Amino acid sequence: ETGVTQSPTHLIKTRGQQVTLRCSSQSGHNTVSWYQQALGQGPQFIFQYYREEENGRGNFPPRFSGLQFPNYSSELNVNALELDDSALYLCASRPATTDTQYFGPGTRLTVL
Partner 1 sequence: AQKITQTQPGMFVQEKEAVTLDCTYDTSDQSYGLFWYKQPSSGEMIFLIYQGSYDEQNATEGRYSLNFQKARKSANLVISASQLGDSAMYFCAMREGRPGLSGNTPLVFGKGTRLSVIA
Q: Which residues bind partner 1 (CB under 8 A)?
A: 2, 30-31, 33, 35, 40-45, 48, 50-51, 55-56, 58, 88, 90, 92, 94, 96, 99-106, 108
Q: Which is nearer to partner 1, 24 or 33 (CB)?
A: 33
Q: Give the shortest CB-50-to-partner 1 separation in angstroms.
A: 4
Instruction: Quote the CA–CA distance of 49 and 68 in Å, as a whole number.
Output: 7
- Cβ-based nearer residue to partner 1, 78 or 90: 90
Is the separation of the CB atoms in 93 and 49 below 8 Å?
no
Nearer to partner 1, 15 or 57 (CB): 57
Question: Of the two residues 2 and 20, which places its CB atom closer to partner 1 in the complex?
Answer: 2
State how far the alpha carbon of 62 is from the alpha carbons of 32, 56, 58, 87, 106, in Å.
Answer: 18, 13, 11, 18, 21
In single-letter form, the type of residue at position 104 comes to: G
Output the smallest distance, CB 16 to partner 1, in A. Answer: 26
Q: Do residues 20 and 8 make contact, with C-beta atoms less than 8 angstroms apart?
A: no
